[in-house]
Amino acid sequence: MVNAIIIATLNARYTHASLGLRYLLANQGEWQAQTKIMEFTIAMRPLDIAEQLLIGRPRIIGLGVYIWNITETTALVALLKALAPDVVIVLGGPEVSYETAQQTIVQQADYVITGAGEVSFRQLCGQLLHGQKPLNKVIAGEQVPLAQLTLPYTQYTENDLATRSIYVEASRGCPFKCEFCLSALDKTALPFELQHFLAEMDRLWQRGLRQFRFVDRTFNLKIATTVAILDFFLERLDAATFLHFELIPDHLPDALKERITRFPPGSLQFEIGIQTFNPEVQALISRKQDNAKSAENIRWLREHSAAHLHTDLIFGLPGEDLPSFGAGFDRLMALNPHEIQVGILKRLRGTPIIRHTEAFGMVYNPQPPYNILRTDRVDFDTMQQMNRFARYWDMIANSGRFAHTLPLLLGDAPFARFWALSAWIYAQVQQTHQIALPRLFVLVHGAGQAVLGIEQSVLEDALLQDYAVTGQKGQIPFLSEVRKNRATPQDGGKSGNQRQLRFLN
């Protein structure tokens, strides 16, 4: 069958299956049979993507444009217009929905649909295939009641279910107005009809899906709905079940707690955005958050549930300096979440955060991902160091590879000590990526002694326990020469290195 319409996007990774494309396909109506989804990754060459898109000689190509793929998609559109100028290029997605006119990619394309695209893209395809050309290049997407949309979940293929991350949503939008977030532009959170949604989830379950990643911004806003969804999965729970939700940190009533405690280890993951514990900064960015209640709830989740907690902080917010962020980091660290994701503020197109630019001396990268470069409280050098801190924190703390060593590294001042460690590591290697795991152990070993003053034998004992579960073979790279060669009564005269290598078997 010839596909007159292709809808495509460049995902960050192959494992990410685009929910947006599947919404478009599900709502194509009479044009669905002529529409095909094609997904690529940002690692692919735009020239190769263009070749694949044009093989079937489509008449319309719709492209989803996001902050992570805007650079590559801009290059792709230029190639498509050079190779096949008669093919109509339609753009959509958050990256082209705001500040639209000045963008190079918009100037190259034929049409742009801003905002919701399910209905407007179908209508545009109908006009174009009937030889009609809309007068306006930029089309405001029509946002219809959610009940009028066809849900997209049947568009996930068997291969998708078997090999990729599957995203679902029980609601859209957010009632909160945090100024760094695109959801600040939403009027409220709108739920899909619950029983219809659960019926779709049951169909996915019957097809074998066990990992459900909810993209709702406020999953625990309406507790009755939250409880109903959790009950749905509790009734079907098996060893392969995995659910990911984003939680509001200060809203955890007893009915929700009771359900959470019934999920076994490995089945539940919560993403919890703290962003900042500074009340003055929260007020500046219109973030309403009960800090004491948030901390209490995170502590409760760690002590009374098996849920994996992924927490978020943002550095570079207006009004926040390094000591303030460090205090917030230590406060969050004391609650013992499994992960702390240190994010750098980004100026997403359309977000109200721009109103603080002049007052707080905020300078952003003009290129994607539009990350903050400096503020009146944080200079560029400090911002660069925080980028390195965040990367090393992912590698050492969030990875879980240094479970025994991390408490020694952090001591009673986690932020200050890891800040010093990250500065030392960067001074040695001048890079934050492509550090092999054995090399990382060597660096942690060096930093632990050189800047943190950890006793060598204590540090090496902890590192050996962590190294034993990495699967690395052969010589242990971080042991001191003295420790490698010494004999001990416990090993009957064997070298220290031989004794320690038993951990690796």
Q: Are residues 92 and 13 in the same domain?
A: yes
Could you say which of 118, 146, 174 is where a domain stops? Answer: 146
Question: What's the pLDDT score for residue 505?
Answer: 27
Q: Which helix (H) or strand (E) holds 168?
A: strand 167-168
Q: Are residues 395 and 371 in the same domain?
A: no
Could you say which of 314, 349, 378 is where a domain stops? Answer: 378
Q: What is the pLDDT of residues 171-184, one digit of tens each?
A: 999 888 899 998 87
Q: Are residues 237 and 267 in the same domain?
A: yes
pLDDT(169) > 80: yes
Question: What's the pLDDT score for residue 25?
Answer: 99
In sequence order, the 6+-apart residues with CB closer than 8 A to the CB of 428 are: 443, 446
Q: What is the pLDDT of residues 323-372, one digit of tens each?
A: 999 999 999 999 999 999 999 999 999 999 999 999 999 999 999 999 99
Distance CA 230, CA 236 (A): 10
Cα 471–chain centre separation: 27
CATH of the domain at 313: 3.80.30.20
Q: Are residues 293 and 214 in the same domain?
A: yes
What average pLDDT does range 181-192 have in this prediction?
Answer: 85
**Overall number of domains in the chain:** 3
Could you say which of 146, 174, 191 is where a domain stops? Answer: 146
Residue 43 domain-assigned (yes or no)? yes
Q: Are residues 176 and 115 in the same domain?
A: no
Residue 152 domain-assigned (yes or no)? no
Question: What's the pLDDT score for residue 399?
Answer: 98
Residue 383 domain-assigned (yes or no)? no
Please, what is the end-to-end C-alpha distance for the chain in angstroms?
56
Q: Are residues 193 and 285 in the same domain?
A: yes
Residue 301 domain-assigned (yes or no)? yes
Q: Are residues 122 and 193 in the same domain?
A: no
Residue 452 domain-assigned (yes or no)? yes
Partner residues linked to 168 by β-bridges: 214
What average pLDDT does range 121-127 have in this prediction?
Answer: 98
Q: How many CB atoms lie within 10 A of CB 149?
A: 16
**pLDDT-derived band at 229, boundaries 50, 70, 90:** very high
| Mean pLDDT, rounded, of the chain | 94
Q: Are residues 209 and 93 in the same domain?
A: no
Give me the residue label for tokens 């760690």: 302
Q: Are residues 252 and 290 in the same domain?
A: yes
pLDDT(191) > 90: yes
Question: What's the pLDDT score for residue 485?
Answer: 58
Q: Are residues 173 and 312 in the same domain?
A: yes
Residue 406 domain-assigned (yes or no)? yes
Task: Tell me the residue length of the chain.
Answer: 505
Q: What is the pLDDT of residues 305-314, one digit of tens each?
A: 999 999 999 9
Q: What is the pLDDT of residues 82-95, one digit of tens each?
A: 999 999 999 999 99
Which domain, by its residues, includes 257?
Answer: 166-378
Q: Provide, rounded to the nearest whole percent, the portion of the chain with pLDDT above 70.
A: 95
pLDDT(497) > 70: no
Q: Are residues 194 and 271 in the same domain?
A: yes
pLDDT(13) > 50: yes
What average pLDDT does range 227-236 have in this prediction?
Answer: 98
Question: What's the pLDDT score for residue 218?
Answer: 87
CATH of the domain at 28: 3.40.50.280
Residue 314 domain-assigned (yes or no)? yes
**pLDDT-derived band at 500, boundaries 50, 70, 90:** very low
Q: What is the pLDDT of residues 414-445, one digit of tens each?
A: 999 999 999 999 999 999 999 999 999 999 99
CB-count burial class (<10 Å; 0-12, 13-18, 19+) for 393: buried
Q: Are residues 364 and 488 in the same domain?
A: no
Question: What's the pLDDT score for residue 499?
Answer: 30
**pLDDT-derived band at 482, boundaries 50, 70, 90:** low
Question: What's the pLDDT score for residue 364?
Answer: 98
**pLDDT-derived band at 478, boundaries 50, 70, 90:** confident
pLDDT(498) > 60: no
Residue 157 domain-assigned (yes or no)? no
